Structure 1
Amino acid sequence: MDGEYDFWLLDLDGTLVDVEWSYTREVFDRVGNHLGREFTDREADILWNGLTGSRDRQLERWDIDPRAFWDAFHEEEDPLVRAEQTYLHDDAAFVTDLEVPVGLVTHCQEFLCEPVLEHLDIQDWFDARLCCTEQTGWKPDPEPVQCVMDDLGVGHNGHQGVLAGDGSNDIGAAWNAGLDAIHVERVGHERRGQCVRGDYRVRSFDELF
């Protein structure tokens, strides 16, 4: 399948890597202490994995101020501990076999992303990467995707590309940027509570090759 595309873009968390649940639970316990509100396991799962799409909209539905939440969340995340608690999915190794430019477009913040990439020794998997911010925009906005495409030199010359991710925001970003979309379902439809569409829908990247 890799020969079908001139370039690949990939999400990080939930797509190529995941974090041990114990780390997630501890972070949400500390964030809850900051905000004076407990988070159930289900709520932590929804927010960590973006199961309902926009995390900010989900927070607002729970009457939680998104800015206050993210300030507390980033204060409580320890980059080195997170990196140590992050593991690479076995099927992610397909990236090393791709013979075309590969870019990373992630909502994981740079201060967390870089230690994770270094710990897992996968920095050289990507020819360009972008950690989304308020300035770049957030998936499903196509802007961060197009920015990485420009960095790869495939932004405006008719190249055919694909973006793979685990969430509906990834699929939306791909389609909004004119790319094909691969949804890799890591958590299952029942736990997600909905079915995410994509040009390809798989449980493992191994199904594509």
Structure 2
Amino acid sequence: MVSEYDFWLLDLDGTLVDVEWSYTRDVFDRVGERIGREFTDMEADIIWSGLTGSRDRQLLEWGIDPVAFWEAFHDEEDPLVRAEQTYLHEDAEFVGELEEPVGLVTHCQEFLAEPVLAHVGIEDWFDTILCCTEQTGWKPDPTPVEQVMADLGVAKNGHKGVLAGDGANDVGAAWNAGLDAIHVERVGHDRRGRCVLGDYRVESFDELF
């Protein structure tokens, strides 16, 4: 199916790479101290992995101000430590062999994404990289996806593209931008508590070949 597409877009965290749980737990412990609210393992997992979709909506449901949370979260993240504890999923290595244009659309902030990509050695896999911000919009908004498509020089009509990610927001962004969607389920349906639909639903990219 790889040859079906004229270009590929991919998410980063949870799709191509993941971080050791000890790092995630430590960050949420320190964020909790700053905002005066402890996080259980399940809550930390829900926010880190985006298991319920919109992280901001989930924070609001818990009575947490998203602005205050993310300010503390980004202050507590150490780019070099995070990079050192990040690993590449072996089944994602096919991306480095793609001959078609490849773009990265990630919610991971630039100050974190750059050292992570360098540490796992995949920064040269992508023809363009976009780290979402309030200005670009956030998946499932198609705007950041369409911006990456413009950077790649692929029109919405006339080129068949696909976006692969590990969350419902990735699938939504793909469909909203008129692309096919691959959902790679890294955490399992039981842990997520729901099934995420996509044009392709896999537990490993190896299933695509």
TM-score after normalising by structure 2: 0.99
Q: 2:118 and 2:206 mapped to 1: Cα distance?
A: 24
RMSD of aligned alpha carbons: 0.6
| Structure 1 unmatched runs, 5+ | none
Q: 1:99 and 1:83 mapped to 2: Cα distance?
A: 27
Structure 1 SS opposite 2:100: coil
Asked if the contact 2:84/2:119 (under 8 Å) is kept, the reply is yes
Matched, 1:6 2:6: yes
Q: 2:52 and 2:116 mapped to 1: Cα distance?
A: 25
Matched, 1:134 2:134: yes
Give 1:99 shift.
Answer: 1.2
Give 1:154 shift.
Answer: 0.2
Asked if the contact 2:156/2:178 (under 8 Å) is kept, the reply is no
Q: 2:156 and 2:120 mapped to 1: Cα distance?
A: 33
Structure 2 SS opposite 1:145: helix
Q: 1:18 and 1:169 mapped to 2: Cα distance?
A: 17
1:83-119 deviation digits (Å, cap 9, x = unpaired): 0000000101010221100000000000000000011
Matched, 1:179 2:182: no
Matching residue's letter, 2:148? V
| Structure 2 unmatched runs, 5+ | none
1:158-195 deviation digits (Å, cap 9, x = unpaired): 10000000000000000000000000000000000000
Q: 2:84 and 2:119 mapped to 1: Cα distance?
A: 7
Q: 1:158 and 1:68 mapped to 2: Cα distance?
A: 43
Structure 2 SS opposite 1:171: helix
Structure 2 SS opposite 1:37: coil
Structure 1 SS opposite 2:33: helix
Asked if the contact 2:31/2:69 (under 8 Å) is kept, the reply is yes
Q: 2:82 and 2:89 mapped to 1: Cα distance?
A: 16
What is residue 68 of structure 2 aligned with on the other side? 68
Matched, 1:59 2:59: yes
What is residue 24 of structure 1 aligned with on the other side? 24
Give 1:33 shift.
Answer: 0.2
**Identity over aligned pairs, percent:** 81
Task: Give the alignment of 1:20-169 within 5 angstroms.
Answer: 20-169=20-169
Give 1:156 shift.
Answer: 4.2
Q: How many pairs are equivalent?
A: 209
Q: 1:198 and 1:173 mapped to 2: Cα distance?
A: 11
